[in-house]
């Protein structure tokens, strides 16, 4: 789980890695015989009993720096990724984070550029709200409308969702599943673990080779097997 790729000198939420750090992390993956792909590609392979060499890479929020700083590094290592964007905040910034620098978000054209470069576009909701605190109307809009807007924008199906802040409850899971998404990403799903509440690991600027190795090994202990996936 990544967010922004750029200067991380002022980064109170630890959501930023530098392009140089991302480069070294992807080099680490490739040297271990692993390859970063979109979550859709990862899940498609795993349901066929394949893809043990694949790792899902996700970039949340849809920062504009994805195109300039992340995409060239991904391409250098023959990796792809899933970009979870906020169609209710096109061309805006991360106003939901009170501290730290304002980071610009991709415009509609920027999202299309990422999609054309082979990046999977998923929904992060419309505006980045905690879905467990949203009333039914807002929950439905964030989950359902964001998908419709993104499919219109990209001209392609949108099959993945990502819970803002990683916060999730059964009502949010049911809404996401009923909206027709094939999968959804969380962070630490606990008992909700399943295709619509997938666990992810935060990867940050401090994650050098030794830490990556430990995270990679320990990740399987944090999750229970997901039915239908291995």
Name the residues that contact Zn ion, by CB under 5 A: 60-61
Q: CB 213 → Zn ion: shortest distance, Å? A: 27
Q: CB 84 → Zn ion: shortest distance, Å? A: 7
**Among all residues, whose Cβ is closest to Zn ion?**
60
**CB closer to Zn ion, 44 vs 138:** 138
Q: CB 186 → Zn ion: shortest distance, Å? A: 12
**CB closer to Zn ion, 95 vs 218:** 95
**CB closer to Zn ion, 61 vs 120:** 61
Cβ atoms within 10 Å, residue 5:
27
Q: CB 51 → Zn ion: shortest distance, Å? A: 26
**CB closer to Zn ion, 45 vs 138:** 138
């Amino acid at each position: 789980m990544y967010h922004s790729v750029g200067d991380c000198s002022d980064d109170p939420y630890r959501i930023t890695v530098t392009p140089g750090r991302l480069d070294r992390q992807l080099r680490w993956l490739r040297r271990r015989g692993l390859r970063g792909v979109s979550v859709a590609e990862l899940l498609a392979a795993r349901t066929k009993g394949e893809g043990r060499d694949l790792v899902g890479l996700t970039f949340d929020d849809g920062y504009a720096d994805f195109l300039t700083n992340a995409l060239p590094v991904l391409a250098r290592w023959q990796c792809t990724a899933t970009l979870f964007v906020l169609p209710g905040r096109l061309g805006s910034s991360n106003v939901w984070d009170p501290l730290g620098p304002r980071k610009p978000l991709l415009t509609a054209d920027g999202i299309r550029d990422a999609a054309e470069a082979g990046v999977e576009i998923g929904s992060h909701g419309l505006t980045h709200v905690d879905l467990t605190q949203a009333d039914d109307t807002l929950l439905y809009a964030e989950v359902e409308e964001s998908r419709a807007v993104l499919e219109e924008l990209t001209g392609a199906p949108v099959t993945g969702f990502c819970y803002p802040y990683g916060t999730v409850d059964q009502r949010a899971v049911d809404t996401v599943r009923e909206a027709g998404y094939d999968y959804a990403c969380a962070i630490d799903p606990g008992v909700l673990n399943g295709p619509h509440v997938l666990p992810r690991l935060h990867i940050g600027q401090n994650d050098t080779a030794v830490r990556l190795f430990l995270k990679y090994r320990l990740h399987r202990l944090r999750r229970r097997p997901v039915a239908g996936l291995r």
